[in-house]
Amino acid sequence: MKALEEVLGYQFEDSSKLETALTHRSYANENKALGRVDNEKFEYLGDAVLDLVVGHALMIAFPELKEGELSVTRSQVVSETGLSEVAKEIGLGDFLFLGKGEARSGGRQKPSLLADAFEALIAAVYLDGGFDAAEALIKHLLSERIARVETTGFYDFKTRLQEAAQARLKATPVYRVIDERGPDHDKTFVVSVMIGEREWGQAAGKSKKAAEQNAAGNAAFVLEGAAQSDVAEARAEIEAAANSEKP
């Protein structure tokens, strides 16, 4: 783990936090006698820290963007695809503690597993060194991606998602208002976009139309960056659901 610390440019005071961040549940389940804790709670915390740091950085970098546009822009940086690519760049997969089956099935290269581990790693640094240490690491690893995010085309995301959904899943997105907040004269709408039985994006907006566009943007980046195996699984679910409805 010293080699990983050198790559990160950060040395842990409490190495057990790094150990937890690198421990997949498959390893913890196969080695219960070791009493190892898996990294799932760290994933949750790391996700929140990433959203805060990246969101703040984007506000500074792109002051002209509105709330919904910032949300869509942030999703590019902290998406599974984006985080897994950074994880691969620093060789994070080589340091993970995986169960034997997960390791044999290529777990060290799985985008979803790598993205989760990256979030857990951020949480470990936050818990070990505080917010400033976590912020410094995030900026060090993600600054180039923040600088080159896509900041145009925000009002055509529904079309973009429609095309991606048809091409990759042979299905049509469905938008649902799942929450309305605030008084009638100043409402905020929260919209979820479903493709098949899966939610692919969720976002808020000051109108239903704006919320749908923001949700479509989030979903488009997720779907466009999804691994082929994940797309195949989602498409199979959609086809199975359609077949079950046939008389």
The catalytic residues are 47, 119
Q: What is the DSSP letter of 190?
A: E
Gyration radius of the chain over CA positions: 20
Helix, strand, coil % (nearest 5) of the chain? Answer: 70, 10, 20
The topology under which CATH files domain 2-147 is Ribonuclease iii, N-terminal Endonuclease Domain; Chain A (1.10.1520)
| Predicted pLDDT of residue 246 | 67
Band (pLDDT 50/70/90 cuts) for residue 224 is confident
Task: Break the chain into its structural domains and give their ranges.
Answer: 2-147, 154-244
Q: Please check whether residue 98 is in contact with residue 107, taking contact to mean a CB–CB distance below 8 angstroms.
A: yes
Q: In what order do the strands lie in the sheet with 188-195?
A: 174-181, 188-195, 198-205
What is the mean predicted confidence (pLDDT) over 1-23? Answer: 94
The topology under which CATH files domain 154-244 is Double Stranded RNA Binding Domain (3.30.160)
Helix-helix angle 80-89:67-78, to 10 degrees: 40
Indicate whether 154 pLDDT > 70: no
| Predicted pLDDT of residue 225 | 80
33-42, 143-152, 201-210 — most confident range: 33-42
51-65, 67-81, 120-134 — most confident range: 120-134
| Predicted pLDDT of residue 81 | 79
- The predicted-structure confidence for 166-201, as pLDDT tens digits, reads as follows 999 999 999 999 999 999 888 899 999 999 999 999
Q: What is the DSSP letter of 200?
A: E
| Predicted pLDDT of residue 73 | 83
Better pLDDT: 154 or 57: 57
With a pLDDT cut of 90, the percent of the chain lying above it is 58
**Least confident interval from 102-106, 147-151, 163-167, 193-197:** 147-151
User: What is d(CA 11, CA 193) in angstroms, rounded to the nearest whole number?
Assistant: 41
The pair of three-digit structure tokens given for residue 116, joined into one six-digit string: 């989760």
| Predicted pLDDT of residue 152 | 57
| Predicted pLDDT of residue 121 | 98
Average pLDDT, the chain: 90
- The predicted-structure confidence for 80-96, as pLDDT tens digits, reads as follows 878 998 999 999 999 99
